[in-house]
Structure 1
Amino acid sequence: MRPFRHRDYRLLIGSVAASLFGTGLWMVAVAWQVIALGGGPAQLSVVATASSLGLVLCVLFGGVAADRVPQRALLRAVELVRVLATGTAAALALTGSLQLWHLAVIAFVLGSAEAFFYPAYSALLPAMLPADELLAANGVEGTLRPIAAWALGPALAGVVVAAFAPGVAFGLTAVIYLLALGALLLMRPVPVVERTERASLLRDLGEGFGYLFRTGWLFATLAFATLYVLMIIGPIEVLLPFVVRDQAGGGAGEYATVLAAFGIGGAAGSLLVSSWRLPRRYLTWMLLLWGAGAAPLVLIGLTRQIWVMAAATFVVGATGAVAMVIWGTLLQRRVPPRLLGRVSSLDFFVSLALMPISMAVAGPVGEWLGLGVTFVLAGSVPVLLAVAAILAWRLPRDEIAHPLDAAPEPEPTDAA
């Protein structure tokens, strides 16, 4: 028994829940703030692209920091930046001074902060919990994420934006991020993995990339994820508000409903998988859940009904959440602890490398091809990508040869 485990784990999860709730508020508020400024899909693409650029450009440094600096301190710094950034957005919006470029800069700062959050959290969790509790813990986080970020946060944002203005929602977001910071300040120090030497930044990054290229299952999954993100993130993050508005005649409340369905699906999927044993064919199931699970996006491109859009996002959220819990547990069980922060950051960097492009082109492509055709493509292509990754890297053979044990496996010397 680790005496710090239960109290501090509860504080950590409370902070994560508040942070995700604030992120859900921001997501809806910023979309409707862009619309309030007279913008359309192309203008929202600018803001979304700025956020994704901040994430991609900084995430490798976030991984190195997570392996060098106490993760608790990094998480505190992230929440402080979020408080200041969203508070600034609120002040500018409520005084009538906010412009599109302000939103882009603030989005870039928030994306950069997010780049340090996930690697630090991923490296901190195994230090607090034994290996046999990681699946359940990832299930808890996987349940909180969709409920807070995609259901409760957007739902509250829809009410606040409709009753007041996006700027009020920005201010509420800053308050919620402040609560997340407060929970982290109450946490006690957590032991970190001792390193035998202090390498240079470039050597640390090189070691992480070397592990990626030597490890077949990791490389295959991230190769799939890179193209998967290119296909679906832009349509969901940039085009969905306009599909709701133009195809179904909805507003902020209806948009929040569609996002809430995604979140409820994600929560249901996370709860379900956290009560299971990991499947023996964990790589195959994971990729098929992501790839085939994106297929309902086709319906969003074809329907004019809010309930159909909500049903589609529910399925996408549920399947994606199951895959994500498997993936998080897989990293924590098969990656050596001293590399986990860097590998987690590489997970973000490689899989999200094309996210800025997806965000940037979603608006112009949606206007060129039409919203419906864009969503049909977004739902169709990931199925083919998943099958190709499974077959090209012979993942069924790898998952049978490497069942998930309680301890991380030795570092590979040859490509898997």
Structure 2
Amino acid sequence: MTDRLAVLGERDFRWFFVGYATSLLGSSMAPVAVAFAVLGAGGGGSGLGWVMSARILPIVLVLLAGGVIADRLGGRRVMLAADVLRCGVQAVFAAALLWGHASVWVMVALVALWGLGEGVSMPAMGSLVPAMVRAGPRLADANTLVGLARSLAMVAGPATAGVVTAVYGPATVLLVDAVTYGIGAFSLARLSLPPQERKRSDGSMLTDLHEGWSEFRSRPWLWITTVHMGLFNLLVWAPFLVLGPLTAQRGLGGARGWGLVMAVYGAGAVLGGLLMLGRRPGRPLAVATVATLGWTLPSAALAAQASVLPVAGAALVAGAGSAVCGTLYSTTLQRWVPAETLARVSAFGGLGAFVLGPLGLAASGPLADQVGTAGVLGFGALWQLVAGAVVLAVPAVRRRRWDQEP
């Protein structure tokens, strides 16, 4: 275990990890608070879908520009600016709720700014981790620890947010989120990365984007798995995020019940991360694709109108799968994509994964009104089974081995 945690001995990664883990705790609390702030304002399923879409849409719009900027200026600078922005947004959001000025459309505007910060931060994150970790063999452990931080936040965050929202209201949760973003910004400011992390280009943004696109499309395993994740977000995850809180409000105990489900999902991700620490599967993408099949279970449990404990059990399995596939996808990308284009390639991957998300979030509520919640969630579960089998059948995914040279 000591060898598996050796990456924490690297100063930059240690500072980053502490700040990132702290900000993740607040970020994992905020969605629960936002969801019940919308429902408390009378937004219903449609309003919740619009607010969630407003968070995802800016991510889609700025991802590519964020990738170019991160490759030019360095991931640390971009993530630092994004944390400062999100700290301010969440503080204003909390104040608006406390003063009674948070209509659904005010929430849409604030959440859009939140999403803007996330959109520029995501590709920067993809390039920052390998810049901090000097020893190549430790890269997978670094990604595993980052995934574990996300998973632990998913355990503590939603459960805490459910209780705090029920007792003190969503504004308190958002204020805590603002503070944690401030801590994350402080930690990023403490990093001292090598000069090669700060890349610049004399070409135009379009030229840089074309170079990143060429790198992205030249790898079939990359764009196939990206399409898979994009359709997953449209057909499985978006309906789960919108219809899950509605189902919880009607029969799973409201905010507390939904917080429990999402916390158990995080617990599963912790277990999956611990399982991955120090391990190098021979066929990483094949293992990652099999792990995505776990996402069928929570949607299927909700579609079957199961009680909170079976839904939580399904979320446990899905969470474990999310940690396994997240670690393996990230490490594969960082290992086989050149460092000088990594942020841009990550941006194209993120764009493909998220571009259909706003449509899924906005359409889930109205579609459920027409065909029923069970129909929407059940279709998503079936889709994920079929899609996972199709992706696994692709040789470029199934045959890629860990010991292949970059």
Q: Same fold (TM over 0.5)?
A: yes
Aligned to 1:125: 129
Structure 1 residues 337 and 370: alpha-carbon distance in aligned structure 2, compared to 1, 3 A threshold: same
* Percent sequence identity over aligned pairs: 29
Structure 1 residues 167 and 145: alpha-carbon distance in aligned structure 2, compared to 1, 3 A threshold: same
Aligned to 1:288: 290
Aligned to 1:413: none
Task: State the 1:371 CA deviation.
Answer: 1.8
Aligned to 2:300: 298
1:137 corresponds to 2:142: yes
Q: CA RMSD in A?
A: 2.0
1:52 corresponds to 2:82: no
1:201 corresponds to 2:205: yes
Structure 1 distance, partners of 2:90, 2:99, is: 14
* TM-score between both structures, scaled by the size of structure 2: 0.94
SS at match of 1:78: helix
Aligned to 2:176: 172
CA contact (8 A) 2:144 2:277 kept: yes
1:266 corresponds to 2:269: yes
Task: State the 1:392 CA deviation.
Answer: 4.5
Tell me which amino acid in the other structure corresponds to 1:289: A
Q: Which runs of 5+ in 2 are unaligned?
A: 1-5
Task: State the 1:333 CA deviation.
Answer: 0.6
CA contact (8 A) 1:127 1:191 kept: no
Tell me which amino acid in the other structure corresponds to 2:106: H
* TM-score between both structures, scaled by the size of structure 1: 0.91
Tell me which amino acid in the other structure corresponds to 1:314: L
Structure 1 distance, partners of 2:74, 2:118, is: 17
Structure 2 distance, partners of 1:261, 1:312, is: 9
SS at match of 1:192: helix
SS at match of 1:54: helix
SS at match of 2:117: helix
1:116 corresponds to 2:92: no
Q: After alignment, is 358-367 or 282-291 more displaced?
A: 282-291
SS at match of 2:195: coil
Task: State the 1:292 CA deviation.
Answer: 4.9
Structure 1 residues 293 and 359: alpha-carbon distance in aligned structure 2, compared to 1, 3 A threshold: closer
Q: After alignment, is 134-143 or 120-129 more displaced?
A: 120-129
CA contact (8 A) 2:73 2:200 kept: no
Task: State the 1:168 CA deviation.
Answer: 1.9
Q: Which runs of 5+ in 1 are unaligned?
A: 410-416
Structure 1 residues 367 and 189: alpha-carbon distance in aligned structure 2, compared to 1, 3 A threshold: same
Structure 1 distance, partners of 2:404, 2:66, is: 27
Tell me which amino acid in the other structure corresponds to 1:275: G
SS at match of 1:188: coil
CA contact (8 A) 1:300 1:312 kept: no
Tell me which amino acid in the other structure corresponds to 1:136: D
Tell me which amino acid in the other structure corresponds to 2:78: L
Structure 1 distance, partners of 2:195, 2:109, is: 36
Q: After alignment, is 334-343 or 211-220 more displaced?
A: 211-220
Q: How many residues align?
A: 400
1:390 corresponds to 2:392: yes
CA contact (8 A) 2:297 2:315 kept: no
